[in-house]
Each structure stands twice: as C-alpha cells, then as structure tokens.
C-alpha cells in the first residue's frame, strides 16, 4: 500500500500521509479522533484529548460544518499541539478552517455535491492559503452516504443510499482516477446508523487507496465490523462528546479497530 509519488525526483507524499501508510502497514487499521471546534469547553476538550492519548488514537482531525469560528479552531490546535505529538489534520467545513498550526489538511472534494463550490470552488480559494501556510495537503474524495446529516445539507449533497454500494464504489473509483489518495465515506456526524458494512466492503474492493469511514460509529462492534469489511481508518467524534466515561468508550473502539486491523494483516500474509 506504500505510495511513492515522485515527480522530477521530488517526493510528493508528505510526512502525515507517510505516517498514515506506515501505521497502516504496522497495525492494519487506524483510529482518528475528530474534534469539532464548535465545542469550546476547554476542560472537556482537555479531558477528551487526555483520554484519546491514553486510548492510543492515531491522529486528530479538527473541523465541523456549523458554528466554527477561526479563533476557536486556532485555540483547539494549540491545545492539541501542547498535549499530543500525534498528527493534527484539518477536516475543513469551509475555507476559513485552514490554520497554519495544522500538520496537514484533508484537501477534499465533496464528489457527490450538486454545488460546484463544494467540489472545486472552495478548494480554489483555499489552495493558495494552504501553500502559504506550508500545510501538507492530502487529496481526498469525500463521499456522503445517507443519512448525511448537517454536512449533507450544508454541502448540498445528493447522499448515496446505503443499499446502493455500487454507486458509492463508482464515486470512490472516480476519485482515485482523478488522483485523490484517500476516500472518506461519511454518514454524517451523529448519524443514527453508520455507513453500511456492505458499502465499506464494496468500496474497499473498488479502490486501492485508504478508505476512511466515519459518522455514527459509537461502539467497538460498529468499528470492528467496518474494519473487517475493509475500512482502513475509523473516525469517531460524537462518541467523545457524548460519553460520560470518554476513556472507556474510546479505548474500546481503538482496541476493536486494532483487533480488526490485526485480523486483516493476518489475512494478507
């Protein structure tokens, strides 16, 4: 799965993407913790980061679709940098999410949006900023599945029904053929049901790049089933915001992801 992309001898895969591939080769699957800067209770954020560190999360994503102001994003990034050595990746809800403190940004196109702003417009506005800040862009195909939630509404998406895995796979493959190096299957933050296992399996078979799955994953079982179906990265956000015992909930999910990953590595060997 290692990607070596060289043009005129210059390596175009950055540090965070390399970290992701190396960790995948070692563990088989990864867990990313999503923090939404809309939530500004610093003590709660500290408790979540502490728990995520202890649980062994592999990286942090920072972003949200609504109620995000740049000052809160910067503050959260600073806190993360103080408390963790893990990569911090911007998961942009819009152009103003770009901050210079991040290690990388999922430079994503919402492939199944009806509005060209979310496919290439915001990207054109954001690209010079990403370059000026020197943040590593990781080109990503962002695909919204039903129900899709807030991000689907804001992003003017045509969410793909969960009983149509072939449509999701077609979008994912189109993303790969357009040069995107990661696929993200999104059910929407807080979704009642995560992306269907059959969708994950079909997309996994269709593409070679890592597949990230998020939205509505709340239990170790949810996470493990999706890793076994082929998810390379499991993202949880709401889980850490809702649970009373954040560490217990997170460590169960991270453990399940790693167990699923080990199984996949064994299968490959």
Contact residues: ligand 1GP, CB under 6 A: 34, 186, 189-191, 214-217, 235-239
Q: Which is nearer to ligand 1GP, 17 or 186 (CB)?
A: 186
Question: Which candidate, 89, 103, 79, places its Cα nearest to that of 30?
Answer: 89
Q: Which is nearer to ligand 1GP, 24 or 212 (CB)?
A: 212
Is the distance from CB of 135 to CB of 87 less than 8 angstroms?
Answer: no
Compare residues 105 and 217 and give the one whose CB is closer to ligand 1GP. Answer: 217
Beta carbons within 8 Å of 102's beta carbon, 6+ residues apart: 62, 77, 88, 89, 90, 133, 135
Q: How far is the CB of 222 from ligand 1GP (least distance, A)?
A: 10
- Supply the minimum distance, in Å, between the C-beta of residue 131 and ligand 1GP: 25
Q: How far is CA 129 from CA 124, 221, 231, in A?
A: 10, 40, 31
User: From the CB of 225, what's the least distance to ligand 1GP, in Å?
Assistant: 15
**Secondary-structure breakdown of the chain: helix, strand, coil percentages, each rounded to the nearest 5:** 50, 20, 35
Other beta carbons less than 10 A from residue 180's beta carbon: 22
Q: How far is the CB of 134 from ligand 1GP (least distance, A)?
A: 25
Name the residue nearer to ligand 1GP (CB basis): 209 or 240: 240
Residue recorded with tokens 């152009």: 95
Q: Is 265 helix (H, G, I), strand (E, B) or coil?
A: helix
Closest-CB residue for ligand 1GP?
214
CA gap 92, 65 in Å, rounded: 8
**Residue 260 · residue 29 · CB < 8 Å:** yes
Q: How many other CB atoms are found less than 10 A from the CB of residue 3? A: 14
Minimum CB separation of residue 214 from ligand 1GP in Å reads 2
Return the number of the residue (143 or 201) whose C-beta is nearest ligand 1GP. Answer: 143
DSSP structural state of residue 95: G
Q: Which is nearer to ligand 1GP, 18 or 193 (CB)?
A: 193
CA distances from 175 to 98, 102, 107, 183, 225 (A): 22, 24, 12, 7, 24
Q: What is the three-class DSSP state of 211?
A: strand
Nearest CB to ligand 1GP, comparing residues 15 and 248 = 248
Q: How far is the CB of 115 from ligand 1GP (least distance, A)?
A: 18
Give the residue carrying structure tokens 């560490």: 247
Q: Rounded to the nearest whole angstrom, what is the least distance from the CB of residue 64 to ligand 1GP in the complex?
A: 8
């Amino acid at each position: 799965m290692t990607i070596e992309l060289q043009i005129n001898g210059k390596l175009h895969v950055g540090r965070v993407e390399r970290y992701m591939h190396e960790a995948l080769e070692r563990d088989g699957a990864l867990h990313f913790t999503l923090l939404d800067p809309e939530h500004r209770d610093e003590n709660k954020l500290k408790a979540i980061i502490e728990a995520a560190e202890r649980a062994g999360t592999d990286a942090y994503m920072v972003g949200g679709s609504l109620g995000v102001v740049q000052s809160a994003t910067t503050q959260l990034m600073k806190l993360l940098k103080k408390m963790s050595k893990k990569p911090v990746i911007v998961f942009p809800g819009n152009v103003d999410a770009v901050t210079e403190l991040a290690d990388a940004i999922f430079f994503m196109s919402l492939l199944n949006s009806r509005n060209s702003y979310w496919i290439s417009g915001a990207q054109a506005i954001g690209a010079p900023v990403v370059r000026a800040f020197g943040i590593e862009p990781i080109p990503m195909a962002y695909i919204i599945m039903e129900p899709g939630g807030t991000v689907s509404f804001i992003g003017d998406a045509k969410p793909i029904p969960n009983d149509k895995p072939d449509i999701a796979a077609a979008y994912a493959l189109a993303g790969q053929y357009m040069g995107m190096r990661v696929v993200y299957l999104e059910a929407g933050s807080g979704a009642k049901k995560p992306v269907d296992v059959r969708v994950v399996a079909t997309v996994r078979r269709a593409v070679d790049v890592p597949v990230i799955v998020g939205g509505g994953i709340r239990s170790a079982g949810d996470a493990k089933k999706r890793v076994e179906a082929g998810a390379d990265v499991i993202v949880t956000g709401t889980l850490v915001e809702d649970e009373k015992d954040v560490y217990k909930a997170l460590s169960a999910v991270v453990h399940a992801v790693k167990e699923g990953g080990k199984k996949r590595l064994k299968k490959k060997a």
